[in-house]
Structure 1
Amino acid sequence: MPADTPQTVTGVSIPFLEWLGARLVKAEGGVSEVRMAILPEHRNSWQVCHGGVLMTLLDAAMATAARSLHPELRGSATVDMTTSFVRPGQSDTLFATGKCYHRSTTMAFCEGEVRDEAGELVARSSGTFKYIKKRSEQGVDG
């Protein structure tokens, strides 16, 4: 994705997703979707999607789902994340979805899935996220 096309959720750019080549498709009402074309550099020695890439997709999907429920805040930080790898991510495109199933004023509890082009489950995750408020007009998180 070109560097001049920032992806935003509630007005916040997500540079790492852009660099990775992932695309935020949706983030509203506690639900999100991230899509990614899997390139050779995203694969491991078995030529399937690297587990770190899968965890990144899950983390981004869950965090943006949480963030979509608190648009006045700058973002969320991962506190805890547990992932189960179900099958190899072999397709050329993977789809991650995130859902915030409970939130408080400071925390969000989420679940996420990565599926392949056939709709088969590749990985599943749950996570806890802390909401981060703006500290100043400069946008510094705290």
Structure 2
Amino acid sequence: MVPSSKEQIEGLLTDILQNSTMEDEEVLLHLLSGIRHKQQGIHRRYINAALHMVGKFEPEVSEVRIPITPVIHNTIKVPHGGIIATVADAAMGGLASRSVPVGFNVVTTNINISYIATTTNKELIARGRFVHKGRQTLVMACDIEDETGRKLAIATASFFVIQRRQS
């Protein structure tokens, strides 16, 4: 008999916890609490839940924040460049998607990021803004910093307006 998914998860968690380091436990707690937040409706997407992403969107600017934890570290224990790009894309794309008419959304067509510095501080903050608002394309810019104001990266992206898919 093949074990159920829940049985597989329970076995895997038992094995992981028996051999876990404090860092393993920190990461597991982070990811599991993210899934709980998704279940509770705090986050609509698993990526936002896994990263503990918080966003604030105004008509012309946005701010997306995530905690810096081992979940997002690269091999030198600083935030992974792909995660920095993901947070920048969320800040710019979230702002862009809120600017289009009802029934439409946006997709990223291009993103460019220049990395400036690393950090071992506590939070990544991406602040998005408009460079160009067209009917079919939007061009955005974003500064990514830590909570001390240290500039980590700058990004630009283009977004294409599409008709929203039916759920």
TM-score class normalised by the smaller sequence: 0.7 to 0.9
Q: Which has the higher helix share?
A: 2
Gaps of 5+ in 2: 1-33
2-structure distance, mates of 1:131, 1:70: 7
Identity across aligned pairs (percent)? 27
Which residue is equivalent to 1:66?
96
2-structure distance, mates of 1:74, 1:91: 38
Equivalent residue in structure 1 for 2:109, among 79, 100, 108: 79
- Offset at residue 87 of structure 1 (A): 0.1
Which residue is equivalent to 1:54?
84
**Counterpart residue identity of residue 41, structure 1:** V
Q: Which has the higher strand share?
A: 1
TM-score (norm 1): 0.84
Structure 2 residue matching 1:115: 3-state secondary structure: strand
Larger radius of gyration: 2
**Counterpart residue identity of residue 88, structure 2:** L
Gaps of 5+ in 1: 8-12
Deviations 1:6-52 (A, max 9, x none): 44xxxxx444222222111x112131110111111210111100101
Which residue is equivalent to 1:20?
51
Which residue is equivalent to 2:61?
31
2-structure distance, mates of 1:89, 1:132: 36
Alignment of 1:114 onto 2:144? yes
Equivalent residue in structure 2 for 1:5, among 41, 53, 56: 41
Please list, as runs of the form range in 1=range in 2, the aligned pairs for 1:95-134 lying within 5 A after superposition. 95-134=125-164
Question: What RMSD, in angstroms, separates the aligned Cα atoms of the two structures?
Answer: 1.6
Structure 2 residue matching 1:16: 3-state secondary structure: helix
Q: Give the number of equivalent residue pairs.
A: 131
Higher relative contact order (CA 8 A, sep 6+): 1
**Counterpart residue identity of residue 125, structure 2:** F
- Offset at residue 71 of structure 1 (A): 4.8
